[in-house]
Amino acid sequence: MKTFKEFIIEARSKEDAEKLRQTKDNPDEWRVRNKGGGHHGLNTVSALKGQGKRRSQNLKPLTTKELEDHAKRNLHPTPTKTAKRAIRIEGGRKRSQRDDARSRTNQTGQKHDVDHIQAQPNRRSETTRSRFQSIHPGDSSDNRRVIPSSENREKNSKNTEKTTLTRAGAIRRALQRAREN
């Protein structure tokens, strides 16, 4: 475990972390990351890929199969076409949210993130994960919003809004948008 003195010495500005990255044997394999509180550190690219993979397992996006099954159960005409159209619309909504975050960042100079309204808890056991994912809206466009990055870090993995969107509700909304288009 590091002592306080070692920790303080390690805390560095973004420029210092970038200089340290350049001194590595293979600087392209390292990324400078904000560690919070103005401190920056280095992470390997492979570690960041693993982090993305783990996060994607926790917040599942809506799938064509889920949408198609729901459409069949509720007697939608052409459930396969409706489900595919809903997935296309869902992807477009997510892209527009990312673009909105980018444009707000450029307009204000303050970084904005796409945040999940109903957040994924930090840890979830394997036994309860599937049950959780069957009711949690996951990574649907209805469960996302654009907020300043500082506010996103401050809220951590807490739900700030009193919304009770379920996975079935997100599926129903996606299919409704597809039928209206």
Residues 26-49 pLDDT 10s:
888 888 777 666 667 777 888 777
Confidence of residue 64 (pLDDT cuts 50, 70, 90): very high
Whole-angstrom CA distances from 87 to 21, 34, 51 are 40, 33, 25
Whole-angstrom CA distances from 181 to 68, 73, 92 are 17, 21, 13
Q: How many CB atoms are closer than 10 A to CB 16?
A: 13
Q: What is the mean pLDDT of residues 81-87?
A: 95
Q: Are 84 and 64 in contact (CB under 8 A)?
A: yes
Confidence of residue 10 (pLDDT cuts 50, 70, 90): low
Residues 128-174 pLDDT 10s:
666 666 677 888 999 899 999 888 877 766 776 777 788 899 999 99
Flag whether pLDDT at 176 surpasses 80: yes
Give the Cα separation of 47 and 49 in Å (integer): 5
Residue 34: strand pairing partners: 40
Q: Is the dihedral of CA 25, 31, 32, 37 positive or negative?
A: negative
Would you state the pLDDT for residue 82?
95
Percent of the chain with pLDDT over 70: 77
Question: Which residues, in sequence order, are CB contacts of 50 under 8 Å at separation 6+?
Answer: none
Between 102 and 58, where is the model more confident? 102
